[in-house]
C-alpha cells in the first residue's frame, strides 16, 4: 500500500501513527540481529518502515535484500531509500526492479551524500544529478506503482542553507511526482511548524512526515545534532548536561524531552511521527509508550489474518495457509516463494503445492552450536528435554528448534495443560485453543475486519514416544470428533482423516463478506512439514559432540518418536484433546542416557561420517510405501524447481545516512 494513502487515511481518522527507519548493518550477525529486532518491533504497530541505501550508493544488494525480507517475511510495508550517489542509470534500474519484484511500492528518492573519499558531491557518469531527476525517472518508468517520497530540510542542508531556495527545490520534486515528504531530524518544534507553514504557502499539499531522533547517549545526541547542524533548545542542554555521564539517566531524560517535542507536534495537527531508530528498539519504545499510542488491550494491533501476512509480490491477497508453520513464518515464505499463485479464498483439493527443498533455501537452526547449547542446555535424559519444553511454555526459554519466538498470549488458555503434558514427556510443538465466536477486535484471538466474529478448532501438535503411540491412536480412533495424522521420520503415516482435503481450523465471519478460512490442516503440507521438523531436530542434535549423551538423546527422539497433529472438530468443546493423554507418561523419563563409547550407526552411517540420505518424502523421489498411493501422487509432483540463489550479502556492508534522516538531497 502506498505510504501517502496510509498517511491520508490516518489523518482523516485523526489517528496517531508512526514509522521506523533502519540501516544495513556491517556484519552478517548484525543483519540477523536486526531481522529479529524488526520482527519484534512489528508488534509496536508501525505504519511502515524504511531502509537506508548503502554507503555512498554502494552495497546496494544488502539494502535490496533487507527490503525483500521485511516486505515478504515480516509483512512490514517497506520504503526503500534510493540515492544518485555512485549510481549510473543501469544500477538505478536494477535497484528499482528488485524493489518491484519484492512487492515494495514505496521509494524515498534522494540525491545522497558524497562518497567518503570525496569532499563535494559529483554526479556519476550516466547517472542523475539531482533528486528531482531521479523522481522524474521513477515516475516515467513505473507510473503509479511506486509512491515516491522526497526529503525536506526545515533547517537547511550541508550545501544549501537558503530556506526559500530549498522549498522551491522541494516543490519541483513534488511537481515531478513526489507524493510525501520525510524531513531531516530536528529538536525544535517551533522551527519545524514554521517551516510547514511556509511549505504549505508554497502550494505543496502532500503529507509531511517529521523525522524524530531518540536520545540514547549524550555523546551521540551532540554528535548527531552537530552533524545535522540543527538548533537544540537551551533547556534541552540544561536538562541533559547534569546526567551526561549516566547513559540510563540520559535515556530517561531524553525520552521526556522527545515526548514533549512529539506532543507539541501532535497538538498542532501532525498525526505521523517517523523515528530514526539507529537499529535499536528501547528508546523508540519508551517514547511511544509514554505517548500512549502503542497497541494495548483497549486498542489491539489490527491483524488482517491470524498469521503474519506477507506483502511480497503476488502474496498480498494470500489468505490461506497450513497451521504447521505457525511458529516458522520465514521458513514457510522461503519454501513457497516459487509458487505461481497463492491460495485466496480456499485451499483447493486439486492443488498440489510444491514445497521447496530444505537444502535449497538454507532452512535450519539459527545461531551457532555454542549459542544453541547455551540456550537449550545439554540434555542427558528425555526428562531433561521435557523440562526444556515445559520451561518454554512457562516463558523461561525464548525459543525451541521449531518455534523461533517466545510463547504467545494465545497459549494462556492452554498453558497449564501444555506444561503438564511436557512434564510427562509428551513434547508439544504447536497448539491453538478452541474459540467460539470471539469478536474480531479481541486483543488475543481477534483478526480481520471490524464487527466480525472469529472461530477456532482446538489443535495440538505433539511428539510422542513409540511406547505410547499405539495407545494414543486407539483413544483418538474412539472419539468421533477427533481427526489426527501421525508420522515418524521414516514415513510411517497413520491417520483417520476421511479424505485428503483441507480441514479448516480457523475461520471468521464478517459483515458483507464470505466466510474466511485462513488456517487449515492438510495431508501433503503436513508431510512437507514432517521433513522440516525432523531436519531441525537433526540439526539440534549436531550442536553436540557425536559421542555425547545429548546427541544420543535427541537422535533417539528424531529416529523413533512420532509427530502427531490432532484436531478436535467440536470447536465448542474446551478440553476435548487433553483427556486423550490422561495417565500417559513416557517410562523411565528421567533415566540418564549413557552414550556408547564406540561410534554408533545412525541412519546407516557412523557418527561423524557422511550419512545416507533419507527418502525425500514431499520434496523429491518417493520411496516410502507406507504413505498412501493417493498422497504419493501429490507428493511426486513436488519436484523442486527453485535454483539455489547466490549469497547477495556484501562482505563489508556499511551503514549509510544512519544518524539524521534523509540524505542530502536538492
Return all residues near 457 (Cβ < 8 A) that are at least 6 apart. Answer: 432, 434, 504, 505, 506, 567, 568, 569, 570, 571
CA 249 to chain centre: 32
Q: What is the pLDDT of residues 219-236, one digit of tens each?
A: 999 999 998 999 999 999
Q: Cα(347)–Cα(313) distance, rounded to whole angstroms?
A: 19
Q: Cα(157)–Cα(174) distance, rounded to whole angstroms?
A: 18
Res. 433: pLDDT tops 60:
yes
> Rounded to the nearest 10 degrees, what angle do helices 189-201 and 247-267 cross at?
30
Q: How confident is the model at residue 163 (pLDDT cuts 50, 70, 90)?
A: confident
Residue 614: all three cell numbers together: 533419507
- pLDDT at residue 499, as a whole number: 80
Q: How confident is the model at residue 241 (pLDDT cuts 50, 70, 90)?
A: very high
Q: How confident is the model at residue 622 (pLDDT cuts 50, 70, 90)?
A: very low
Residue 299: all three cell numbers together: 486498542
- pLDDT at residue 355, as a whole number: 86
- pLDDT at residue 352, as a whole number: 54
Query: Do 356 and 384 contact (CB within 8 A), yes or no?
Result: no
Q: How confident is the model at residue 629 (pLDDT cuts 50, 70, 90)?
A: low
CB neighbours (10 Å) of residue 159? 11
Where do we find the cell 550517489?
A: 85
For 355, half-sphere exposure in the C-beta direction (CA atoms, 13 angstrom radius) is: 25
Beta-bridge partner residues of 503: 521
- pLDDT at residue 128, as a whole number: 85
Res. 486: pLDDT tops 70:
yes
Domains detected in the chain? 16-291 (3.20.20.220), 321-592 (no CATH)
Query: Do 470 and 550 contact (CB within 8 A), yes or no?
Result: no
Report, as residue numbers or ranges, the catalytic residues: 21
Global pTM reads 0.84
For residues 498 and 565, the model is more confident at: 565
- pLDDT at residue 125, as a whole number: 64
Percent above pLDDT 90 for the chain: 73
What torsion, rounded to 10 degrees, do the Cα atoms 376, 432, 337, 31 define? -40
184 phi and psi, to 5 degrees? Answer: -60, 155
357 phi and psi, to 5 degrees? Answer: -65, 145
Q: How confident is the model at residue 610 (pLDDT cuts 50, 70, 90)?
A: very low
Q: How confident is the model at residue 40 (pLDDT cuts 50, 70, 90)?
A: very high
Across the chain, mean pLDDT equals 87
- pLDDT at residue 658, as a whole number: 37
- 64-69: list long-range contacts, CB under 8 Å, 24+ apart: 64/95, 64/98, 64/99, 64/102, 64/648, 65/648, 65/649, 66/22, 66/24, 66/31, 66/34, 67/98, 67/99, 67/102, 67/104, 68/98, 68/102, 68/104, 68/312, 69/35
Q: What is the pLDDT of residues 344-396, one digit of tens each?
A: 887 764 345 678 878 766 678 888 999 999 999 999 999 999 999 999 999 99
Amino acid at each position: 500500500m502506498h505510504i501517502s494513502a496510509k498517511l491520508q487515511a490516518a489523518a482523516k481518522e485523526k489517528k496517531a501513527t508512526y514509522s521506523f527507519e533502519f540501516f544495513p548493518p556491517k556484519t552478517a550477525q548484525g543483519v540477523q540481529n536486526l531481522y529479529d529486532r524488526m520482527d519484534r518491533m512489528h508488534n509496536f504497530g508501525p505504519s511502515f518502515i524504511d531502509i537506508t541505501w548503502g554507503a555512498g550508493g554502494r552495497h546496494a544488494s544488502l539494502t535490496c535484500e533487507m527490503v525483500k525480507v521485511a516486505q515478504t517475511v515480516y509483512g512490514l510495508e517497506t520504503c526503500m531509500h534510493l540515492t544518485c550517489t555512485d549510481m549510473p542509470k543501469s544500477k538505478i534500474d536494477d535497484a528499482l526492479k528488485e524493489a518491484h519484484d519484492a512487492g515494495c511500492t514505496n521509494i524515498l528518492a534522494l540525491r545522497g551524500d558524497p562518497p567518503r573519499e570525496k569532499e563535494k558531491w559529483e554526479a556519476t557518469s550516466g547517472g542523475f544529478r539531482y533528486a528531482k531527476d531521479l523522481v522524474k525517472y521513477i515516475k516515467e518508468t513505473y507510473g503509479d506503482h511506486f509512491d515516491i517520497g522526497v526529503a525536506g530540510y526545515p533547517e537547511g542542508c550541508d550545501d544549501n542553507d537558503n530556506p526559500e531556495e530549498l522549498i522551491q527545490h522541494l516543490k519541483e520534486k513534488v511537481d515531478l511526482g513526489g507524493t510525501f515528504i520525510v524531513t531531516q531530524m530536528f529538536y525544535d518544534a517551533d522551527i519545524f511548524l514554521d517551516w510547514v507553514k511556509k511549505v504549505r504557502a508554497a502550494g505543496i499539499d502532500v503529507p509531511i512526515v517529521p523525522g524524530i531522533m531518540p536520545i540514547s547517549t549524550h555523546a551521540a545526541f551532540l554528535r548527531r545534532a552537530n552533524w545535522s547542524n540543527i538548533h537544540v533548545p537551551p533547556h534541552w542542554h540544561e536538562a541533559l548536561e547534569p546526567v551526561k555521564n549516566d547513559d540510563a539517566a540520559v535515556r530517561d531524560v531524553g525520552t521526556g524531552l522527545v515526548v514533549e517535542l512529539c506532543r507539541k507536534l501532535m497538538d498542532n495537527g501532525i498525526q505521523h511521527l517517523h523515528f530514526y531508530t539507529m537499529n535499536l528498539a528501547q528508546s523508540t519504545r519508551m517514547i511511544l509508550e509514554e505517548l500512549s499510542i502503542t497497541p494495548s488491550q483497549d486498542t489491539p494491533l489490527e491483524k488482517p489474518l491470524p498469521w503474519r501476512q506477507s506483502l511480497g509480490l503476488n502474496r498480498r491477497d494470500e489468505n490461506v495457509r497450513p497451521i504447521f508453520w505457525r511458529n516458522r513464518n520465514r521458513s514457510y515464505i522461503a519454501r513457497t516463494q516459487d509458487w505461481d499463485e497463492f491460495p485466496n479464498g480456499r485451499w483447493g483439493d486439486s492443488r498440489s503445492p510444491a514445497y521447496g527443498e530444505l537444502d535449497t533455501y538454507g532452512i535450519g537452526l539459527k545461531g551457532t552450536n555454542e549459542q544453541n547449547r547455551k540456550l537449550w542446555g545439554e540434555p542427558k535424559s528425555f526428562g531433561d528435554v521435557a523440562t526444556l519444553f515445559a520451561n518454554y511454555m512457562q516463558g523461561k526459554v525464548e525459543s525451541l528448534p521449531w518455534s523461533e519466538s517466545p510463547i504467545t498470549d494465545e497459549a494462556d488458555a492452554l498453558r497449564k495443560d501444555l506444561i503438564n503434558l511436557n512434564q510427562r514427556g509428551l513434547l508439544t510443538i504447536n497448539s491453538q485453543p478452541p474459540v467460539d465466536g470471539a469478536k474480531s477486535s479481541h486483543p488475543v484471538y481477534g483478526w480481520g475486519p471490524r464487527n466480525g466474529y472469529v472461530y477456532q478448532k482446538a489443535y495440538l501438535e505433539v511428539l510422542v514416544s513409540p511406547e505410547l503411540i499405539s495407545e494414543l491412536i486407539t483413544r483418538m480412533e474412539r472419539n468421533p470428533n477427533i481427526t489426527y495424522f501421525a508420522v515418524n521420520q521414516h514415513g510411517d503415516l497413520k491417520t483417520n482423516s476421511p479424505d485428503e482435503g483441507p480441514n479448516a481450523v480457523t475461520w471468521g465471519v464478517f459483515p458483507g463478506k464470505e466466510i474466511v478460512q485462513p488456517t487449515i490442516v492438510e495431508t501433503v503440507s503436513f508431510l512437507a512439514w514432517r521433513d522440516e521438523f525432523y531436519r531441525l531436530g537433526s540439526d539440534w542434535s549436531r550442536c553436540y559432540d557425536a559421542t555425547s549423551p545429548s546427541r544420543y538423546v535427541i537422535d533417539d527422539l528424531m529416529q523413533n518418536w512420532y509427530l502427531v497433529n490432532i484436531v478436535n472438530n467440536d470447536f465448542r468443546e474446551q478440553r476435548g484433546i487433553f483427556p486423550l493423554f490422561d495417565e500417559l507418561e513416557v517410562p523411565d523419563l528421567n533415566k540418564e542416557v549413557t552414550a556408547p563409547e564406540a561410534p554408533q550407526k545412525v541412519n546407516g552411517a557412523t557418527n561423524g561420517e557422511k550419512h545416507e540420505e533419507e527418502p525425500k518424502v514431499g520434496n523429491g523421489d518417493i520411496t516410502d510405501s507406507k504413505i498412501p498411493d493417493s498422497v504419493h501422487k501429490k507428493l511426486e509432483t513436488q519436484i523442486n524447481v527453485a535454483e539455489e540463489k547466490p549469497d547477495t550479502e556484501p562482505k563489508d556492508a556499511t551503514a549509510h545516512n544512519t544518524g539524521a534522516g534523509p540524505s542530502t538531497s536538492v
